[in-house]
Amino acid sequence: MQPAQKGRQKTLTNLQVNEKQTSSKGLKNFNWLWSEYSVIFAFIVIFIVAAIMNDRFLYIQNQMNILMQVSTIGIIALGMTVVMLSGGIDLSVGSVLAMVGVFSVLSLNASGSIFVALLTALAVGAFAGFLNGLLVAKGKIASFIATLGMMAAARSIALYTADGGSIAGDVEGFSSIANANLGIVRFPVIVFLILTVAVYILMTKTRFGRYVYALGSNEKAALLSAIRVDRIKIGVYTFSGLMVGIAALIETSRLNSISSSSSGNLYELDAIAAVIIGGTRMTGGKGKVIGTFFGVLLLGVLNNMMNLLNISPHLQGLVKGLIIIVAVLFQKRD
């Protein structure tokens, strides 16, 4: 073979290798983008489909309603994200919300002070989370079992305290907490957005956030790295309880009452669904707060779309269940 032919063949071979490398790099970049931001792509697709299927969907009032409806679950989901990133789960959030609501309304009516009701909600929610953390960290009980017990206990306390019924607030101005507006945006939506930014900073810019990721990735390695695992676990569940306390205050204020039997029912399913859809692993160690944010919005758009299409509300649980299963299946493929 002549030198010129050898040179051309070598050049063609190099071009083929470069094309393969470029193609492989492009595929890796796409897989990374899909793995990290698939929930955003899914949200955009579902948003467009909803807009096409019903022209009322894009009304600004409808968009504000979606944000208002997801704000309570969104706040709970932020706390659930931190718990699940640590490798745990919190099944008690719905029942704790009802219990917090009952105690906050009782303290409101007894003291006549909205500030006292606010402190009560935060204290009771954080204390319930603290107990969960103690059971998991010091009692060495699996988070599923510990929070399942708290779910039953908190609901029982709420039912006993309220005699199985509802309690209404008697103080004027309490309902304005959740029903006040800033322009066209309701106050709960603003709280949800602020907390999303705050939790994002907590998990990405602080030592606590790094330790939570480390704990969820490998607990033994975290222990060997001199991380105080028990303290992180207690902190994680206390933080989740604090988020539930804020959510309970908003829900109670919005309705100016709380039902000990029905308030918070299945909120744990909605929160877990939003977190998993957002890309947080069930085993912990991987996930993003921004993913949870879009997971919450995605569920809100789905619920709103089904309502606009007059689909039975009894089927919404089926849709959420299917979405959770599909999200977990995609996680296993990563």
Q: pLDDT by residue (tens digit) across 33-72?
A: 556 677 888 888 889 988 998 888 889 999 999 999 999 9
Question: Running DSSP on this structure, what letter comes out for residue 162?
Answer: T
Question: Running DSSP on this structure, what letter comes out for residue 112?
Answer: -
**If 0-12 CB within 10 Å is exposed, 13-18 middle and 19+ buried, where does residue 32 land?**
exposed
Q: Tally Cβ neighbours within 10 Å of residue 305.
A: 20
Tell me the three state secondary structure of residue 259: strand
DSSP string, 166-230: EEE--STTTTHHHH-EETTEEHHHHHHHHHHHHHHHHHHHSHHHHHHHHHHH-HHHHHHTT--HH
Report the pLDDT value the prediction gives residue 70, as an integer from 0 to 100. Answer: 94
Average pLDDT, stretch 2-19?
A: 55
Cα dihedral 62/67/68/73 (nearest 10): 140
- Average of per-residue pLDDT values in the chain: 87
What are 31's two structure tokens? 């897989």
All domains of the chain in start order, with CATH = 72-333 (1.10.3470)
Residue 264's region, left for phi above 0, alpha for psi from -120 to 50, else beta, is left
pTM score of the predicted model: 0.88
Report the pLDDT value the prediction gives residue 6, as an integer from 0 to 100. Answer: 54
The answer, yes or no, to whether residue 5 has pLDDT greater than 80, is no
Distance CA 158, CA 306 (A): 32
Q: pLDDT by residue (tens digit) across 129-153?
A: 999 999 999 999 999 999 999 999 9
Q: pLDDT by residue (tens digit) across 220-264?
A: 999 888 899 999 999 999 999 999 999 999 999 998 999 999 999
Answer for the pair 70, 299: CB distance below 8 angstroms, yes or no: yes
Of 84-98, 130-144, 234-248, 304-318, least confident by mean pLDDT is 304-318
Average pLDDT, stretch 63-85?
A: 95
Average pLDDT, stretch 264-290?
A: 90
Question: Which residue has better confidence, 328 or 66?
Answer: 66
Q: Of 179, 182, 192, nearest to 300 (Cα)? A: 192
Confidence of residue 10 (pLDDT cuts 50, 70, 90): low
